[in-house]
Amino acid sequence: KSKILITRDNFGCGSSREHAVWALLDFGFSIIIAPSFADIFYSNCFKNGLLAIRIDTDIVEQLMKTESEIEVDLENQKIQFNDKTFSFEIEEHRKKNLLFGLDEISITLQDIDKIKEFEEASCALGKGDTD
């Protein structure tokens, strides 16, 4: 029933397709905590709304051994368990996208007025061309 998967180094190695992330989401996970991730897998996590947290190996080992509830606070970038609190780093744009539920399409649509303006200007330039 856990929404958090805790794992070891280089998680996602060999998983260059988004299907690996989709499977984890389908299984019910919303957060993965590991010391490191394979680059493509890490990127695919955020593209699909899965929080991937990189944190020191010793903290991962503590998390694996605990039987208490683990709480992740994305907004404040904190992991809490057993009266302990640890900070984690995340790129600001990834954090914003997760907090606001933004994907690549919704991010693009934030600039829809600029896109329409560009298209209209491009079409106007193309009128009258015979080449």
Check residue 22 and give its pLDDT.
Answer: 96
Check residue 130 and give its pLDDT.
Answer: 52
Q: What is the mean pLDDT of each run of 10 residues along the chain (131 residues)?
A: 94 89 97 97 95 97 95 98 96 95 84 87 72 52
Label each residue of the chain as H, E or C.
CCCEEECCCCECCCCCCCHHHHHHHHHCCCEEEECCECHHHHHHHHHCCCEEEECCHHHHHHHHHCCCCCEEECCCCEEEECCEEEECCCCHHHHHHHHHCCCHHHHHHCCHHHHHHHHHHHHHHHCCCCC
What does the alpha-carbon distance between residue 34 and residue 55 come to, in Å, rounded to a whole number?
6
Rounded to whole angstroms, what are the CA distances from 29 to 3, 20, 21, 83, 103?
A: 4, 12, 9, 24, 18
pTM (2 decimals)?
0.82
